[in-house]
Structures are given as structure tokens and as C-alpha cells.
A and B are shown apart, each in its own frame.
Chain A
Amino acid sequence: MSAKSVKLENVTKQFTDDEGKVMTAVKEVSLHIEKGEFATLLGPSGCGKTTTLRMIAGFEELSNGAIMFGEDNVQNIPANKRDCTMVFQSYALFPHMSVYENICYGLKLKKLSKSEIEKRVTPIMDIMNLHVNKNRMPNQLSGGQQQRVALARALVMEPGVLLFDEPLSNLDAKLRITMRDEIRRIQKELGITAIYVTHDQSEAMSLSDRIVVMNEGRIEQVGPPMEIYQKPKTKFVSDFIGTANFLGGVVDKKDSDRLFVKTKQTTIEVLQKDADTFHEGQSVSVVVRPEAINLSKEGTESAKVLKSVFMGQIQEYELDFNGIQLYAVVADPGGKEVYYDGDSVNLTFSQRSLHVVPA
């Protein structure tokens, strides 16, 4: 198996409907996915994830731009000749073929001998735990088993690139987690380049080397999960990944790695590596994660508790901070002081967890 890198350069896709109206589903997307990397396209419904994936697979023509597998432009390679296989959301198993026949389908097309096919299929069926179901028809399998067959069928081809379109969305919550770990394990073990589409952020977080956040056909940000969460580049990303409070303000002063943001309430000092991309006087939002809010009884009482809910592992607060509603979470409330509706509290931010994005 030789994994391949995938490069998208300025990829644009426009659809023309029957009345000739043009809609742009993917806009000038450029992206480089390394050999052996697990990259996830994450974004809200309709943002162009599937379309991007389908262009990589060769099911859709590009309106503009280029896609490269390794060094080769795949523009003129038809879908059935591209070195990538796909796991479909609906699994797309061949209903008239047994599990074994489904898995062999691609190998048979490659005109491999029976023994070679056997040699390649057996280890995959081992990994996927499919031997007992070998001769069953797809409609006699559970959702999880069908999912495994779909994965096995794609893996057995030893593709340069493996594509996934929301493969777990039809499974129940528990199975989803098991399968997700399994996919990640196999991908690492075999060193495959994987591109995975989902709109479930926890899936994206747990699977990916890098996450590509998309919105309205464009890439908003590309980066490792932690960076995406802690250092979102845009308001959209910070809002879409995890939960965020926003404090609007303007840049008052700046340093090489620090910003002072003047909000209606206070001036907040934020450690920010890319401080020089901002200029003084620029309107910005300070992203405050719920866990970055500390509450205490000491000092000035700057906020009021509107609602306090005990959730077991965490205590949730809704706070009024000088006219702005904030959502805060305190972990392990058992060992800490708990505040109740109507309490006045002193509110401070964990400076290291704050982050500034353009408004």
C-alpha cells in the first residue's frame, strides 16, 4: 500500500440548476493533506463537504482548480481509475452480493487470481471480525456489521487515499464511538491517507490529525484539533467548535504577543501569538470558553448568577456580566463553592484560555 498526499488547489464547484441558476457549492478551496494523515472536513450542513469529497473521488467535475494525488493531477483520471476508495454514508453495499462477494468486488475487477484475492481479503476480514458473516447477504447484517463490510471493501483495495462521507451517522451513539476508534486504529496501523467528512465535532476531534473547518463552501481554518479549539481564527470557528461566549470590543493596545481589548465592561489582556495580524482600533471579539470563567466571592462583585444547574460532573451557570449573558462551566463542583440564582459573584477570566478573533 502506498499512501498518497492529496493537494487541492483553488478548487471551485458550481452547480447549475434546471433554470440555469448557478450556485457555488465549493469556493476556491486550497488544501494540502500529507501522506498518512487523517484529515477531517468539518462544517455545518450544506457547506460543501460532500461535494469536495466527491470531487476528490472523481464523481463531480471541478468547475475550476486542480486536484493532485502525490505529484499527479487527477483531472483526466476517471472515477473508476482513481487511486482512492470511499466509504459511503449509506454504506452502499451491493444488496445482491454476499459479504465476501462485496469485499472481493474491486479485486476481481483488478483480475487478481483467486488465491491472491483470498490472501488480501483474509487479513482484512480478520481485522474487521467478519468471518462468521462471510456468506450472509447485506440485509441480514446489523448496521455496525454493514459498516464494517463497507470499510473492509474499501480497505482491501489498498488505496492511496481513503475517503469517508459521514460513515458513522447511521449508527447508534455507542457503536459510533467503538467504530470511530476502530477506524482510527486501522488507519494508523496501515498508514493510509484518510479524508473524512463529518458534521460531528467530537468525531472530528477524536479522529483527526488535522481538522478542516468549512463554511459556505470556503475553508475557515485548518489545524490540529487542539489548535482549532484553543486558537480559532474566526468567530465562526470558535462558535462552531465547542461553546463560546463572545465579548465584543476594540483593540486598545498591542504587543508582539499580547492584545489589550477594550470591552464595554473592562479592558481584557489576552496572550495572542499572532497579535501583529491585528491593528489598534480594530473591532474584535474575545472568545471566552465556558471553562475559562472563574467565579469567587472575593474582590469586587462584578456578575450576577441568573441560573445555576448541577449536572454531576459540572456545574453550569448563566451569568449576567454587566448586561452581557455569559455561560460558564465549573468542573468537579463537589469540591468547590457553589453559587445559586441571584448570588453576586466576582468574575475573572483564565487569561491563558482567552483568544481574540476579528469581529
Chain B
Amino acid sequence: MKENIRKLVKQPLLLILVVLIMLTLIIFIAFPMFQIFLSSFLSNGEINWQGYERVFAGGQLTSALTNSLVLAIIVSILSTAIAYFFAYTFAYIEVPFKKIFNGIAILPVISPPFVIALSAILLFGRGGFISETLLGIENANIYGLHGLILVQTLTYFPVAFLVLAGLLRSISPSLEEASDNLGSTKWQTFKKVTLPLSVPGIGNAFLLVFIQSMADFGNPMTIGGDYNTVAREIYMQAVGSYNMQAGAALAMVLLTVTVILYAVQKFWVGKKSYVTVTGKPTSARKMVSKGVFRRIMIGICYGLSATVILFYILVPIGSFIQLWGVNYSFTLDHYSYVFSIGQKAVVDTLQLSIIATPIGGLFAMILAFLIVRKRFAGKKLMEGISMLSIAIPGTVIGISYILAFNQAPLAITGTALIIIAAFIVRAMPVGIRSGITSLQQIDPSIEEAATNLGASGSKTFFSIVLPLIRPAFFSSLVYTFVKSMTAMSAVIFLVSARYNLITASILAQVESGRIGVASAYCTLLIILMIAAMLVLNGLTALFTGKWKLRKDKQTGAEIISKDAANADSVNAA
């Protein structure tokens, strides 16, 4: 400890950096969390339990809570089941155009949070294409629990797929061969070997989806109808009825649930994974290449993939249609709205995201570097806070920021700073994770060699460390950009007349029934996201061509989706 302090004093730059990062983490994560905690016990300056009483007394807040839990359980079960089906097909069966699955898996990471909800309205809503035009149902109602289940399952099963596909791939085929060899039928082998071995992965996937569903804000706002959920209720309490105490209490409950689930999930990954014990895949698995079974599996997977893709392309189509359900003629009106009256939101969002991107990317890399490589007083705390940030739902960030930053000394409500901070805090966990992972693969003596040859701490970081973790850095940059552009749950609390955001505008358009304009905004976002991913792929290919750090060549998109699946449990909300 004494030596650590002495070390810090001797490297003033490191000291400054540690202090700065620590302050940032405390101001933008720890302090706001403390503020919600405090506010949940405070009404008009008095300490009391009224907030929590309201959460658990059986009224509107209680039903929001139970609703969220019911929804999360259903969606997690469905998503995990579908994902397992996909993952099994992916790992065991020869499928033409398998890459499609990977593509679908990235969609929820990069797409705006309510694309599927919008499509669902276009298909099944009042005047929906399927509900009314095809089936002739008038006043079809997609809003509510059933709509949410549909939308969330389609949105989140790819996350579960990534987890399960990775797991099934790592099961050593020799285990299954051994079982076959002992005379088991394929079904018995599945039941006795494959399935038990996938239990940790299934649990893991289930929990990840559960957390995301609990924390989801965009879908319930768009398609929830009368079915109230926690994230939405927090927003209503805070922004609608200015009952900060009730909002804070509900946020505390939500936070507690996600933190606990996240801890359980961590524990599960860490302790329960038998798969890693059995070692590397020794031989390639023999894929099922013919038979009826294969054809059925492929058929179902293709069908589901087509459905997901349909949901995603419907929105761009909808953006060119005059009035969905009534007048299907082609129009550019929605875009001209977006680029005239709605332009401010686009410009603001782009501006703020572009500012947040380099700061967020670099911040994550530096933090990862400090955690992996440096020893200093307070490191445990730094690690703890950045770990915690993974588990904080966006809505909780949102309400905590209004509570924390609306009075001196940190009165930054309404400024660009608060929005940028929210962007960065939301995207940071993924960057930190991938930074940590890639730093752990680099021999620390490479950095020592640089120091030894005369490089200062910052010189070592910029000339050696950052180039070596470039893939992680790029993916962190793009992830920050993508997440900032599509952020809603946290920043919806923070938008003001001065700064409007695309996602907030979309929500407003949906609420006033102007689905066309919402679709146009969404399409624009999707195009920007695709552009960002392409830039990432280009950068990664350009800079990793010369030397390979990751053994298997990965595209930037694959890196980002993997990093996201590992680290991002609540961010999609």
C-alpha cells in the first residue's frame, strides 16, 4: 500500500489520470446512484418509507413491477428456447448460408431499440398490413402484453443465441462421440450429454434476456399499451407526475434486481462452466449433412430468420408510404419532414454522439489498461464502480441523473455535458470488457520494454498499448457511437429544448400516431449504423492485416457482437 502510494507520487501523470478517472466514475456513476438511494427515502426533506410503500402496496407501481417480472419470465423462456434451437442447428447441422445467423445476431446490438415494435405496429396494429389488409380485422390491438412478448422475443433471442452458440461450439465432440460409442441413440446422447452440458449456457442466456427485458424501455413505450412496466413507470413517475420519491424507490428495486441477476449470471459463467474444463475442441464435429431431421431444423430456422429480417426491412418500407393501412402510395414526405422540422434532432444526436465517441472509446481503453496493468491505491473501488455500471439499467441512469445534476454544485441538467456523460456511461462497459480481454492477451513485458527504452507512461500507452488493442479500441469506438445514436432509456429523461434526440423524436411521433415519420427516422438511424459498422470493418481490416493478435480473423462486426454479448446485459434497453 505504502509502495503503491509512493509509486503513484513518482508518476505524476498516472496519479492525475487515476484521480481524474476516479472522479469521473464517482461523479457520473456512484454519486447518481447514491442520489437515487437517498431520494427513495426522502419526501419534502423528510426521511420515510413512502416510496417503497407505494412500490409494494399493491397500486400502480406494484402492478408495473409484477408486469415486468411476468413479461421477463415469458420472454426469457421463449427467447432461450428459440435461441437454443438456432444454436443447436448452427453447431450440429450443415446449413447453407450459415453466416445469416451471425448477421441476425448482430441486429439487436446495432439497431435502434424499437424497430421491431414499429414493424409490429405496421403489421398488426390498427390498419396493420396483416391484421387489417390481409385478415380484415378492424381495430386490431397489438398493444399490450402479447405485443410486448412478440417484440421482445424477436429482439432478444439473438443475444441468447450468441451465448448458446459459443457454448455448444465449445463442447468437445469427443464427449458426444464417446456417448454414441457406448451405444446411445442420438436422442439419448442429446438428453444425457449435450443438454446437461449446456445448462450453464442456458441459464446464462436466460438471465441475460431476463435483465434486458426487465430494463427495456423503448418497446413498452411504443407497444406496451395498458400493460405498464417498471422502466416505463419510473419515467412516468419522474417526468409525468414529478413524484421523484416513488420513481427513485422503483428505480432502486429495478437496480437491485438487475444487479443481483447480473451477479448470479457472472457466478454462473465463472463457476459452473464445465465446458472449459474439458478443454479445447479436439477435433471438428461431424455435422449432420442429410436427413429429414436436418431439413425440418433448417426450415424452421430459415422461417424464423426470414421473419426477423422482414421485421427489420418493414420499417424502411414504411418510411416511404403515405399513410400505412389507408394509403399505400409512395412518398418522400416523411423524409422531408425529418430533414426540415425534424432536422434539429438529427443534428443534435449526431453532434453529441460524435463528441461522445472518442471520449468514450478512449476512456474505456484507459480504464481497462489501469485495471489490467497498474497497481494503485483505490483500484478495487475503480474496478467495482465500472463493474457496477454494467448492471445499471438505462432508466435508472436517467432518473438518477435528474436527481443528481439539477442543483449546485453540479447543475448540468439541460446541457450537452449531461447527455454526453449518459452516452459514455451507457456504452462504457462493453469497451472496458473488450479492452480488458485484449490486454490480457498481451505480454506485459512489451510495455515494460517500451518504458525501459525511455518511453513515458503516456508514450507507452499511445505508441504501444493502444496500437496493440486496436480491435478492441475500434469496437469500443463504434459501439459508443452506435449506442449513443440509438440511446433512449437514459437520455429520454435528459432531453431539453436545447438538445433534442432522434430517439426521443421517434417516440413522440409514435405517440402521436405518425408512424411514417418515425419509420423515416428509424431508417436514417439504421443507415448511419450500417455506415459506422462498415467503417469499423474497414479500420479493423486495415490495421490488423499486418499482424494478428486475435488468432482467428474476425471482422469488426463479429468482435463487437461478441463483446456485446459478453458484457452488455442491459444496454439494449
Contacts and interface: CB of A to CB of B under 8 A. Distances in A.
B468 A105 contact: no
A90 B449 CA distance: 10
Interface string B446-469: 101111111111010001100110
B454 A94 contact: no
A266 interface: no
Contact of B3 (A63, A79, A93, A109): A63
B27 interface: no
A113 interface: no
B3 A61 contact: yes
A92 B443 contact: yes
Nearest to B446: A92
B97 interface: no
Contact of B453 (A59, A63, A109, A137): A109
Contacts of A85: 452-453
Interface residues of B, number: 28
Nearest to B11: A78
A114 to B, nearest CB: 18
Contacts of A57: 448, 452
Contacts of B457: 80
Among B7, B11, B450, B457: residue with most chain A CB under 10 A:
B450
Given A106-B454, A109-B455, A92 B547 contact: no
A81 B459 CA distance: 13
A154 B451 CA distance: 12
Interface string A109-135: 110000000000000000000000000
Contacts of B459: 109
Interface string B1-29: 10100110011000000000000000000
Interface in B542-568: 546-549
By CB atoms of chain B within 10 A, which of A16, A95, A154 has the most?
A95
Nearest to A86: B452
Nearest to B10: A78
A153 interface: yes
B445 interface: yes
Contacts of B1: 16
A296 B454 CA distance: 63
A96 B467 contact: yes
Interface in B33-64: none
A192 B339 CA distance: 71
Contacts of A90: 443, 445
Interface residues of A, number: 31
Contacts of B455: 80, 105, 109
A277 interface: no
A69 to B, nearest CB: 14
A79 B450 CA distance: 10
A248 B87 CA distance: 70
A157 interface: yes
Interface in A49-108: 57, 59, 61, 63, 76, 78-81, 84-86, 88-90, 92-96, 105-106
Interface string B419-462: 00000000000000000000000010110111111111101000
A354 to B, nearest CB: 44
B6 A95 contact: no
Choose among A78, A94, A137 the residue with the greatest number of B CB atoms under 10 Å from its CB: A94
A332 B401 CA distance: 86
A157 B452 CA distance: 10
A80 B449 CA distance: 9
A80 B547 contact: no
Contacts of A93: 446, 449
A45 interface: no
Contact of A76 (B10, B464, B546): B10
B454 A81 contact: yes
Interface of B: 1, 3, 6-7, 10-11, 443, 445-446, 448-457, 459, 463-464, 467-468, 546-549
